[in-house]
Amino acid sequence: MARIISVAKGTGGVTKLVEAYKAQYVELVPQKRNRVDARNVVPMIPSNQFQNLGASSQVVTYKTSEFTSGLNITQSRSSDLPLLVYKGTPKSDPLVFVGLGISNTKDEADAIMNGDLVPTNKTNDAITVVLEGENSLIYHGFSKLGVKGLANITGKRVFAMSDTLENLKAKPSDILEEFTKAYEEFTVGNKFIPNSLVINRKFFSIMEKQLSEYKTQKLVDAIANIGGGSMEITYSSYIVDENGKETIMFGEKDPNNYGFVEVVPAEPGEEYADGRDKIVPVEEKLSGVIARRPEAVMMFGGLA
């Protein structure tokens, strides 16, 4: 259990209420992050890769990363080199706050600041809600504010699985053959090579019932090693297609391809009064999925 940090404030030598929550937050948030997986699937793009981006920004502005270039090969240096020419479309995606407030009665606030009460439960619950909100935002977006998630980014690829795989009644070798075709389509021209395999947990359970636990794991391992590489496997309850159906995803996970930006990290903020109660906000400011190269994402359709 985290120790309340004693920081003198005015008379009485007690902490500010937010300091008690921050002490708990620092201890609990690493444990809670293990329960959400969006950050394992979608990389975070450093905020310094965007111009004029700060805590007060309402949007993040970027270009899709389409470019052309020639290549010069000479015996000596040339002052007339072919240039990278970017054709990307300028885009602006909204930044949103994900947060809530923790209400404390006057008696609770006094007990917390005196060190007689440690707000573990409230901090734990607040972290759970905020991080699950972040998870949902990155996977699904938030249409009311125009935020795109993985499920609905424009320009991603969709691979339609064969009808023979309906309800996973095909043999594992047939299923592997379909994923091999998808891999070949994904890697045409070596523009993208998948390094991330994301499987919906519910879909994985269906596979286990149809094929057995052993055969399913062998199949997943075989899919991850198509092409002689080794894709990172992530199991997620959130990965769905734009119709909300459980799916599987190939991705070349790279912040140059797709990612999200965190402008203000999630943490407890300065408390404010609401009548006699004191409210401690816990919120973060971030984007949805910024798809600079949306073709680096492939969702599978026609699954069970």
Q: Clarify whether residues 268 and 252 are in a common domain.
A: no
Q: Clarify whether residues 207 and 102 are in a common domain.
A: no
The CATH number covering residue 220 comes to 3.30.2320.10
Mean pLDDT, residues 191-208: 91
- Judge whether residue 282 has pLDDT over 50: yes
In a domain, 12, yes or no: no
Q: Clarify whether residues 94 and 210 are in a common domain.
A: no
In a domain, 63, yes or no: yes
Q: Clarify whether residues 37 and 176 are in a common domain.
A: no
Q: Clarify whether residues 129 and 265 are in a common domain.
A: yes
Q: Clarify whether residues 166 and 281 are in a common domain.
A: no
Widest CA span of the chain, in angstroms? 79
Q: Clarify whether residues 250 and 263 are in a common domain.
A: no
Cα–Cα distances in angstroms (integers) from residue 258 to residues 25, 74, 95, 154, 294, in the given order: 29, 35, 16, 12, 7
Residue 8: band (very low, low, confident or very high) from pLDDT cuts 50, 70, 90: very low
Residues of the chain with pLDDT > 70, as a percent, come to 91
Mean pLDDT, residues 34-48: 91
The pLDDT assigned to 165 comes to: 55
In a domain, 93, yes or no: yes
What domain range includes position 30? 17-67+83-150+259-291
Q: Clarify whether residues 51 and 146 are in a common domain.
A: yes
**The two structure tokens encoding residue 277:** 């109660």
The CATH number covering residue 274 comes to 3.30.2400.30
In a domain, 111, yes or no: yes
Q: How many domains does the chain have?
A: 2
In a domain, 10, yes or no: no
Report the candidate in 45, 90, 82, 40 with the shortest Cα–Cα distance to residue 65: 90
In tens, the pLDDT along 245-279 reads 889 999 999 999 999 999 999 899 999 999 999 99
